[in-house]
Amino acid sequence: MNTGHSWTRAPTMMRFTIIDPRATVSFLAPPHALKALAAGCAAGAETTADLLTALIRYDAELARDLRDQLAIFREHNVAGDTAWIDTRIADDADYAPAVELLSRPVQALSQRPGPLGLVIFNLSARRIIQIQNSYANLERSDRGRIRRNGRPVRILYSYTLPDDWTIVP
């Protein structure tokens, strides 16, 4: 499936999986999303929706694209009826858009790192797990560059994860 977004198949992607109390979502995104998602956690995100809302401050285009991808996924899939997504994964091993973990094929997809790695944000446990990270180790306190229309601008943001958050390793 072509989402129309060239970055979804770029060789410089990371897989991100977000676990919240109600659902687990997985997607490929540019590696700058690592710091932006951590900043969203630092801002108090408790759900995937909260995290995507926080992401708007740092990269509105990416946040919108991920929300659109999840809306398409939810339009075609529900727990117990995942034929639509299961068929796409079977037909295209590089399937890239955002998915919810509702079936075994989707679960397997969520465990495949992108070219630059796989990072899990467990919002319930307040833990960030860097399964594989070839981009840059995530720091508890850091800064990143704001993006407008998908491009970095001169404005920086900073974040500091609260003490009850853990980064592994």
108 belongs to a structural domain: yes
Domain count, the chain: 1
pTM of the model: 0.91
14 belongs to a structural domain: no
121 belongs to a structural domain: yes
pLDDT over 90, % of the chain = 83
91 belongs to a structural domain: yes
pLDDT of residue 3: 42
35 belongs to a structural domain: yes
- DSSP-assigned letters across all residues of the chain: ---S-GGGG-SS-EEEEEE-SS-EEEEEE-TTHHHHHHHHHHTT--SHHHHHHHHTTTBHHHHHHHHHHHHHHHHH-BTTB-HHHHHHHHH-TT--S-EE--SHHHHHHHTS-BTTEEEEEETTTTEEEEEEESS-PPPSEEEEEEEETTEEEEEEEEEE--TT-EEE-
142 belongs to a structural domain: yes
7 belongs to a structural domain: no
5 belongs to a structural domain: no
Show the domain range for 94: 20-168
- Section 124-145 average pLDDT: 96
